[in-house]
Each structure stands twice: as C-alpha cells, then as structure tokens.
Structure 1
Amino acid sequence: MSALVRYEQARTALAECARIDEASEIRDKAAALAAYARQRDDRDLEVWVREIHLRACVRIGVLSRDLDQAQTVRQADGATVRLPAGGKSKAAALADAGISTSTAQHYEELAGGREEQAQAAGHAAMEAYFAQSRADGAPPTMAGLRGAVRGALQATLGPLPPRSKRPSPPPEQPKVVPIGADWADWTAAVLTVATLPTDFASLAGRSPRALLADLRGEAREALQRLPLWINALENEHDHSA
C-alpha cells in the first residue's frame, strides 16, 4: 500500500513539474531506486520505479518540446525578436538541467513529437505499455516504451522516416562516454540489458518488423560504446581507490 502511495505521489509530482531540472531530478532518483530494487530482488518496487523513471523522461520531452514555442517581443526601437517561452533559450535550459540536446530529442520522440494527433497516440500507447508491464510484473524498459510509441505513431501517421545514424567515431578520436549528466540513462540501460532473457531469437521475433533495422543499428552502436563505459568506470574506480 505504501508503495502505491509513493507511486501516485511521484506521478503527481511529475505532472506538476514546470521545469526540466525538476523532472530530471525525479528521473535520477527513480534510476537510483531501480538499481536498489534490483539489488534487493524486489520486483514490485522495480516495476513502479522504472515506470516513474520513464515517465520522467517523457515529461522532460514534453517540457523540452514546449521550449521551442517562442514569443515575439517588440523592442523600444521598433525591432522584434523571438525569445523562447520563459525568456531562456532551450539550450540553456537543457544545460542547466544536465540534459544533452540528443537526449532531449529522444525524450521528445517518446512524448509523441509535435503534432497533437501524434502526441495523443503516443500518450495512449505509453499508458497501455505501462499497464501491461504492471499486469505482467515485468519492469518496463526504454526500448519497450520507444517501440510502443513508434508503433502507435506508425499506425496513426503512416511509416516514420528512419532515424538518422550517427557516424562512428574514428579510432584516433574515441567518443567520450557521458558519466555526469547522462549517468542515470546509462545506469538504467545497463541494468535493463543485464536482466533481459537470453533467448535472443525469441526476443527479436517479438519486435515489430518495421523496427528491426533501427534496433539492429542501435545494438551495433551500443556494442561500440559499452567497452568505453566499462573503461570509464574502471578508471574512476582506480582513481577513487
């Protein structure tokens, strides 16, 4: 019962978040609680805190999207300029919250993009996905939520354009693994992969056919990044020892 109360409190707090840094703080706390729940083998706790983590990501996407809504301001000399709502640039607001622009873009996609019809379809798909996760007693995942939302958008808007693939970094300039601002995302992602079933053929078979190319590309990119993440963690451990 207490877990249900905390779940409802967290959902209410997210709905009331008016700034990205507020939602980001809830996201990070939920990620830490998910790690704790997994260590304690508390599946019920892990289910609801992972849901709160993902809801916080979506809320960040909504707030990030809203920052693009500019207002026109007329200056004393008669000239007009366009300022983001709230008077702060989107880049500055994201930086203040420790959110990279690429992460914000992914979160905006989870929120359904910019069309009202797509947003409604994405929200409905999100709620259905979370309801199914609670019914199954299976912690929701970022990949699962993304697949549910993208599937709903394809059904509503038609085939979506493929996500642009980022070029792999040259060997002499390895990509820097984010440890600070994106720590929560990395922690949640690694925990998810570490606890997935190992029947990969069955897992892949349950993926919507339209998403297979995207999933394959993301998996290959993850394969390149994970050793860098492990090295960064080992170096940090050596420095703190």
Structure 2
Amino acid sequence: MKGVGRDVDRAVREAVADVRVPPQTRASEARGEHAQGEPARGEHTHSEVPIPRPVVQRASVRGQILDALRTALMAGELRPGDVYSAPALGERFGVSATPVREAMQQLALEGAVEVVPNRGFRVVERGARELAELAEVRALIEVPVMVRLARSVSVERFAELRPLAEATVRAASSGCRATYAEADRAFHRGVLALSGNEQLVQIAEDLHRRSQWPLVGGVVAELVADAAEHTALVDALIARDVDVVRGLVGRHFAG
C-alpha cells in the first residue's frame, strides 16, 4: 500500500507540473493583465457595482479663479502697472495661492499679465500702438471671413445671431465693462463659428481677449455705439449685403 501511495503522489506531482503557468503568464498577472475575456483579480465584472471614485475639483477651482481674475482685469479692479502676489489674491478669493498662481500663468500666456520674479504678476500696460496693432490683425482675419460668410451662409443661420447681438446691447446699457466684454466676445465667436474653422475661432478669440484688457475708455455711450454695430451687422448679413458687411466690420475695428 505504501508503494501505491508513493505512485499516486508521483502522478499528482506530474499532473500539476503539466498545468504549471508559464513564467510570462505569471508576470502578466502580476502586472494586472489577464487572458482575453477573463477579469483579472480585483477587476469589476458585469455583475459587480463599481465603486465611485472621488471627483478632483482642483481644475474647477483654477477655472473659477481664472474667470474671476479676468473679470477683475476687465472691470479695472486689477490696475495696469500694479504687481499682485498669488498669496494676497488667494486670500482675497478665499483659496490657496496654488490655483491663483496657475490662473495667473494662463493670463501671462494670454498677455494680460507678466511674471515679476519673487514678487508676483504685473498687469500689462497696453499703449495706443499695441491696441491699434491688435485691431489691425483682427480686421485682417475677421473682415474677409465675414464677407465670405455673407455670400455662403443661410439667412436662417444669421438670424440665430440676433440674440447674441441683442445681448451686447443690454450689456452695454448696463455700463459694466466686464459684462460687455464677455457679450462682445460671445457675439464675434458666434459669427466666426459659422465658418466651421475651429482654429480660426480660437485665434480670433485670443486676439479679442488681448485687445480687451485692461479696458480703456468704455463709457456707456461708447459701449452702446459699439453694440449697435453688432445688430446692424446681423441685419446686413441677413440681407446678404456684402458691401455693408465689409464697411461695418472695417469701421468696427477701426473704432
């Protein structure tokens, strides 16, 4: 009987050896990989309810701070030439310095502020020449695009722009420069979006932002006159009057 027992043990060991997992398979399992169609250990199957992961809000905080800083710039609360530190601004907004610093870095890329080593960020001072150059570049991009759109886009699509134009009129009447700046960008973005060229829209948006801060002038009468050109432009686009479109957009940027 002892001999029989030894024979059985030997047979079991040989059988186990035959089904031994290859080294590369073991290594794959150690990395969490598994055979096709078979869930790895710890992986959810269709019958299991996945455990929700915590949502990280850091990007959201940075985005909110970025919007707040843009509004402060356009409203003139952050004055050209002044230096602001991330910790001080963080205290003002009730957050740490990190999201403020990240938002300020984005504003630096947009040309609204410049980095001052060991101090913070200085709000840029735009001269008349720089503003004129920005207006010229915007005109070079937007005038021919709007003329082309006047010839090719349906009247119905142009009619959809009217609420955006009317929103600029209301924003101008409020006298809030920051509110008007946002409505102004939304209108131009809406018109250019009809081209279907996302790169063009993005570049034009960046140039528009650069030309908006820090805002100069911006009294109610000027804002209302600027907004009136938006509604007139919509009327001209719906009428497919190319000459009027070209003249309106050209004067819009010259102003």
Task: Give the TM-score taking structure 1 as reference length.
Answer: 0.23
Q: Structure with the greater relative contact order (CA < 8 A, sep ≥ 6): 1 or 2? A: 2
Task: Give the TM-score taking structure 2 as reference length.
Answer: 0.22
Larger radius of gyration: 2
